Amino acid sequence: MNWTVYEALLSGVNKYSTSFGRIWLSVVFIFRVLVYLLMVGRVWGEDQRDFDCDTRQPGCRNVCYDHYFPVSHVRLWALQLIFVTCPSLLVIMHVSYREDKERKLREKMGKDYRKLYADTSKKRGGLWWTYLLSLLFKASVDSIFLYVFHMIYENYTLPRLVKCTLSPCPNTVDCYIPRATEKNLFTLFMIIISVICIVLNLCEVTYLVVKRCRECGRNKRTKDDICLGEESRLTSEPRNSASLSGQPIFNGVDCKPPTIEIEVHKLSVK
């Protein structure tokens, strides 16, 4: 595994994520990827070889193992990790597409070109929808895999002893699952981490939607204030111009202009 490439991808995802997204990325990397790479493979490594049955009938053990383990936990978790991490790469690709588009426009128009995006990594427009849909997709994938695990392995647990009656087994054969308790503990751990990741994704979706609604409401109030200020300015301009020109201001047809009474005093000259 090339850790340099993986580190570059993680830094890119971390750069364009919110606070909830960074927490989700840390949980996935530490508690899912590292646990999967370092520990899960050892527990399920020789699972089929250690699956023991009380018979030497050729083919019986293989048939019973395939019946009780139609899909291995390890392969299901690997597939789950692939589907969960791919949407984050789509966000990086969308940002790279914006940067490439901005670069081509700069080369075509010169340095004094008008930018298409104030910030290519800012979650606005199509990038906001890409990020939101990636969160919903990741939460949906984890939920679907939890349901699949529940359908294949009832209650997410493995019994120590299973009874197999499939052909070519001669009769009811007892088969023993190796390290069943250890596997149940790891399965429970991975399920809890998946639930935590789902909750983090839903919290981030709520955060993005609420933040976007607040910004839209703030922008609407700002536009309304500008429109009210423009209307008040337009309605006040004719009155001000009339008062400055010295012309009388009439409020209606029946209104009379104001009059001023002046008293005239006769001066007597002695």
> What residue has token string 């009874």?
163
Flag residues of the chain having pLDDT under 50: 1, 239-245, 249-255, 264-270
pLDDT at 266: 47
Buried-exposed string 2-19: b where 16+ CB fall within 10 A, e elsewhere = eeeeeeeebebbeebbbe
* Cα–Cα distances in angstroms (integers) from residue 130 to residues 75, 100, 122, 226, in the given order: 28, 17, 12, 32
pLDDT at 249: 47
pTM: 0.75
pLDDT at 3: 53
Q: Which stretches of 135-250 are assigned E, i.e. beta strand? A: 161-164, 173-176
pLDDT at 269: 43
Neighbouring C-beta atoms of residue 181, cutoff 10 Å: 11
> 53 has which bridge partners?
175
Q: Residues of the chain with pLDDT > 90: what percent? A: 21
Environment class of 100 (CB within 10 Å of its CB; exposed 0-12, middle 13-18, buried 19+) = exposed
Phi, psi of 167 (to 5 degrees): -75, 140
pLDDT at 243: 45
